[in-house]
Structure 1
Amino acid sequence: MPFRNALGRTAACLALFLALGLGACAELPKDVDRPVSTALPAPATTPLGELVQQRRAAAGTRYESGFVLLDGAPAAYGSRLALVEGARKTLDLQYYAIHADASTARLLKAVREAAERGVRIRILLDDLHSTGRDAVVMRMALVPNVEMRMFNPLAGARASTLGRLFGSIDDAARIQQRMHNKLFIADNVLAVAGGRNLGDAYFGKDRKGNFIDLDVLVAGPLVQDLSRSFDAYWNNERAYPVQSLVTAKDLDQIREQARADAKAERERQAGNPPPADGAADTGASAAEVRAQVWDERPLDLRTADFVWAPAVVLADKPGKIPPDGANASADVGKAPGLTVTQTGRRPQGGAAKNDASLAAAADAAADGETVVDGLLQLIGQARSDLLVISPYFVPGADMKQAFAAARARGVRIRVLTNSLASNDAPVAHVGYARHRDELLAMGVELYELRSEQAGLGNAFGSGSGGGSAPGGSRSMLHSKVLVIDGRLLVVGSMNLDLRSQHQNTEIAVLVRSDTLSRTAAQKIDQVMREGAWHVVRSDGRMVWKAPEGSGLEDATAEPDTSAGLRAMVKLFGPLAPDALL
């Protein structure tokens, strides 16, 4: 279910409120054995390694790393299938959330098959979502040749997230800080980085709501920098082997309970068919979704349209989440550093100008303490145009200062974020809405993704059908992208919000490419024109101007939302500080 993506924000607020009156209920294991392992050298003789060399040679490029924007669900899913099926040495997966559903089931089946043919598998997963049915994913740790670790785990049973929050309540400041990175690395030569987690909602298959997202497929030496970041997290003291947290018997019981719950849900659906007019139909059945997933095909890497360009990796160090015994709340905003890395030689001749431009951008980003800080430094280098996609957009004082300074230099700034109707985390929308007037006053252009009618049910994750996403479901923005002056493109896991800036760990790829920047900008422009409300001030009030060609009327209140949802947000909004959103 898509609403689980917002659970971290809700859990953070809940944990801190509950911590005021409750004590500890459970503890994490001590003296955990964490054998150190690192990425294997990038093998040029594997099929994937040879393919990268061939594609680069055919392109006749001076640059060693190539990139493909993966802006559609088929390409995003197909790229991961291709990496799993092509891997011969290693697969490293690092994710904030892996949901136990049809899309993940097929991917993990392919991963198990890769392990059977001798591929070394490492899976690193943030621990917040590994409850209930989703805890079944942890059974991958029992597969031979697969290691799985959970980052920054919560103590307690895995029946529900709420129960685990109670179990870790005396450590609330730590548990609200999450590993938000997303990486999918094959043979240390090809990788996917960006905003997507693993699950139906990220690949256009969820029956109630799907995320609009964007990844980048990376080929060449820059992948080694992504692998070094992965290794830093894998070997960190916050990463606990699954076997230290839960037994095989426990995992078997979780699987059986998940199966029983799924059977009960199928029987419930069979006994409650939608009305004849289809008003309650939320799209394809679970069986149809599974069939659609198995119809997906791996991306043909031999014909993928790689753009070869200079690039760097921006990565938060895992120490952004403090170790056991540290005062987490005191460390917020005092991260131990940002890693900015670039592997491969610097090209000469006609390519030197692009490389020098990237070097200047990388030097600017390196002045920040976190990925988001680095991006604010990059915004300080903008001279003409800034495009931002941030689904959860909660600008703190330094973000607003960066925007104001850019506007003073004459930079046009356009931001695409979620509307209240399309936001799977209405609590995060509160943190954006309270700054909307100030942003408009400084000349920032705001666009909010259009979705279907949203009511109180959507706010609590029940969703509703009838939207524009695949299967007749809701559309929700999840991409995290910056385009600066039409030449610098950033794709990563970060939002422009205080949570990404100070608490969650993030990773991003910064590419110096006119071609990729232009492609991304064109896609963003189209969504802004045809799929988003343009928010403006008119005659002293806020107006949402309808998307081009939509046939809708302009709105003077949060569009596509019920009065109940708007009232709830207005009532509880003042109680939620920006830092927790």
Structure 2
Amino acid sequence: MMKTFLRLIIRVSLIAAIAIMAARLMFPLPDISNRPVSSAIPISTTTPLGKIVSDGSASHGEDKTGVFPLANGHDALASRIALIEAAVQSVDAQYYIWHNDTSGILLMDALYQAAERGVRVRLLLDDNGVAGLDDFMAALNAHENFSIRLFNPSTIRRPKFLGYTFDFFRMNRRMHNKSLTVDGSVSIIGGRNIGDEYFQVFDDNYYIDLDVLAAGAVVPETARVFDQYWNSQSVFEVETVITGKVDLPAFQDRVEEVRSSAIAKEILQGAVDSATGYTNGDAELEWTRVELFADDPAKGLGIASPEQLLITRLIEILGGVETRLDMVSAYFVPAVEGTALFSLLAESEKQINILTNALNTTDVLMVYAGYTKYRRDLQASGVNLYELKLRSTNAETQRMPLSGASLHAKTFAIDDARIFIGSFNFDPRSAALNCEMGFLVHSPSLAVRLSEQFNGPVERVSYQPMLTPEDKMVWQEVREDGELTIYQEEPGATRLQQILLVILGLLPIEWML
């Protein structure tokens, strides 16, 4: 019986291997072996942005970077549009998700208009996050000044997910980076993808997130990292992946449809107001030291060494916490190693505060199940955990920076002195599979701004899981009227969700979370 079963397994494996090899031969990746290298255009004082930034660097030091946080979604969107509209020489952008919605089309049109002005536009997108945009990308890519490339694309376009059936390990590695650099002068990096929910275009469904605008010393380094990705072996030109008719009028019709809406007009007016500040040099930047952390694009091929990984540098920094760590991570799965690190810090009398999504605000139940496996050990060691609850209808609570529908930010502050803002979630996927990036800003003012949220405001917009003296887990909630409520079970969880959390926690899928 056993021999028969083993023979069956061997036969099935052999058939699967042959099918995979055949599929790869039928749908091969394009040959990019002779592709010329493309490089960023450096900052020039002949451009308006370049002159403003160069003057700022001269006043504050060539080794300093001017930074401005973008916590408000409308400001983050308006700032991007304003910078693109101010571009004279180049725009380099890379994003994990780009939606065919109001913000996505307005930004894509801003890039197209820049190309029409003679600006060189390079747009690098992860193929996982561009659903329904193939025709638009093909049309824009046909412009002589507009180049689009895709990271680890599926060679089957419809349905795209079939590419996973024969190239899973390549396509499971994604580019999660989010950056925009204009005229080699100004960059925006953070946690936001391009889509209405990331910019709070509508108030009923949005993410809390954080970006930072930077000008000065760190921008050339950001441009260099973009070049590394743009020229990497995981990236392919749109014209080699997407075939079919190039229909620019269809894109222009979509732009007209979007621009005619009341919300688009409001957004574009906000971009005009933002542009005035940047182009006149009126934006109040804090000039300080900024370090860029980024995975080597070799991670997209699965061949990066530990020293090429962002997580290696982050662990070194976190290991040096002296007094407190305040962390916001939308998806938080610390795994064994992370749990040990945070627990050691807490047991060493460091104040460790971590905010993530609650069950009723997370958009990925599997990730939440991964988090719950380590929650008890973290609490036992003294780590303060907070789980963002559903948005309150109370006007005062809604004005809080950390109040919203769902958490998407990825940031942490160390010792009220430094703050990391980027795309990195503390989970196995960000650590080992997805390519990530972010800025470490040496700014006590920005670090304290995040830490102050944990000195009161956070507890009013979250549940706080705790262990009782009897070692039972309960959840504490400070309600809007100040009343304290204790939950004996996961707040808002249905019986089915509780069962699913247990089942998902048993599956061997943590490495993908």
- TM-score (normalised: structure 2): 0.85
1:424 maps to which of 349, 358, 363: 363
Measured after TM superposition, the shift of residue 85 of structure 1 is: 1.4
Q: Does 1:123 align with 2:143?
A: no
Match of 1:228 among 224, 230, 242: 224
CA distance in 1, matches of 2:453, 2:108: 31
Superposed displacement of residue 144, structure 1: 3.0
1:576 offset after TM fit, Å? 4.8
Give 1:231 shift: 0.2
Counterpart of 1:148?
A: 148
Letter in 2 for 1:546: E
2:416 pairs with one of 477, 483, 486? 486
- Contact kept in structure 1, 2:175 and 2:434, CA below 8 Å: yes
> Which of 459, 469, 476 is equivalent to 1:545?
476
Q: For residues 196-238 of structure 1, what are the alpha-carbon distances to aligned partners after superposition, in whole Å with 9 as ceiling and x for unaligned? A: 1111011002475211000110101210000000000001121
- In structure 2, the gaps of 5 or more residues are 1-15
**Match of residue 52 from structure 2:** 51
- Are 2:177 and 1:194 aligned? no
**In structure 2, distance between residues paired with 1:211 and 1:134:** 26
CA shift at 1:294, angstroms? 3.8
One of 190, 193, 214 as aligned partner of 1:218: 214
SS at match of 2:220: helix
Q: Are 1:512 and 2:442 counterparts?
A: yes
Percent identity, aligned pairs only, is 32
How well do the aligned residues superpose, as a CA RMSD in angstroms?
3.0
**Number of positions where the alignment pairs a residue of Structure 1 with one of Structure 2:** 477
Alignment of 1:350-429 (within 5 A): 369-429=308-368
* Counterpart in the other structure of 1:205: 201
Letter in 2 for 1:153: P
Verify the 8 A CA contact 1:22 1:169 in the aligned structure 2: no
Matched residue of 2:421: which SS?
Answer: strand
Inter-CA distance 524–304: structure 2 relative to 1 (3 Å threshold): farther
**Corresponding position of 2:6:** none
Aligned letter for 1:35? P
Query: What letter corresponds to residue 370 of structure 2 in structure 1?
Result: G
Is the partner of 1:434 in helix, strand or coil?
A: helix
Per-residue Cα deviation, 1:29-66 (whole angstroms, up to 9, x for no partner)? 332363311011211221001222344566x5675311
Shift of 1:558: 2.4
Q: Deviations over 1:512-546 (max 9, x none)?
A: 22122122323455551321111111243222211
Q: Structure 1-normalised TM-score?
A: 0.76
Provide the secondary structure at the position in 2 that maps to 1:557: coil
Matches of 1:138 and 1:402, distance apart in 2: 46
Q: Is the 8 A contact 2:192 2:198 kept in 1?
A: yes
Shift in Å at residue 170 of structure 1?
2.0
Q: Deviations over 1:534-571 (max 9, x none)?
A: 11112432222114536673322222343333333333
Distance 1:436 1:174, change over 3 A: same
CA contact (8 A) 1:213 1:478 kept: yes
Deviates more, 1:148-157 or 1:557-566: 557-566
Q: Counterpart of 1:81 in 2: which secondary structure?
A: helix
> CA-to-partner distance for each residue in 1:154-193, whole Å, 9 max, x for gaps?
12124xxxx3222331221121110111110001110000
Determine helix, strand or coil for the equivalent of 2:85: helix
Residues 1:450 and 1:40: Cα distance change in structure 2 (over 3 Å) = same
**Offset at residue 253 of structure 1 (A):** 11
1:296 aligned partner, one-letter code: G
Cα contact 1:371–1:508 (8 A) shared by 2: no
Residue matched to 2:9: none
1:573 to 483, 501, 505: 505
1:101-142 Cα shifts (integer Å, max 9, x gaps): 101111121111111111110000111122335764454312
In the alignment, which residue of structure 2 is the partner of 1:315? 294
Once residues 378 and 450 of structure 1 are traced to their aligned partners in structure 2, the CA distance between those partners, rounded to angstroms, is 29
Q: Could you list the runs of 5+ residues in structure 1 that have no partner in the other structure?
A: 1-18, 264-285, 323-327, 339-368, 454-466
Report the counterpart of residue 5 of structure 2 in structure 1: none
Report the Cα offset of residue 401 of structure 1. 2.2
Change beyond 3 A, Cα 1:235–1:444: same
2:76 corresponding residue in structure 1: 76
Correspondence 1:448 to 2:387? yes
Q: How far did residue 407 of structure 1 move?
A: 2.2
State the AA in 1 paired with 2:130: S
Q: Which residue of 2 aligns with 1:502?
A: 432
Distance in 2 separating the partners of 1:53 and 1:82: 19
Between the aligned partners of 2:143 and 2:306, the Cα distance in structure 1 is 35
CA–CA distance in 1 between the matches of 2:358 and 2:413?
Answer: 21
Q: Which residue of 2 aligns with 1:557?
A: 489
Q: Deviations 1:389-419 (Å, cap 9, x if unpaired)? A: 1111111222122213322332110001111
| Alpha-carbon distance between aligned partners in 2 of 1:153 and 1:254, rounded to the nearest angstrom | 25
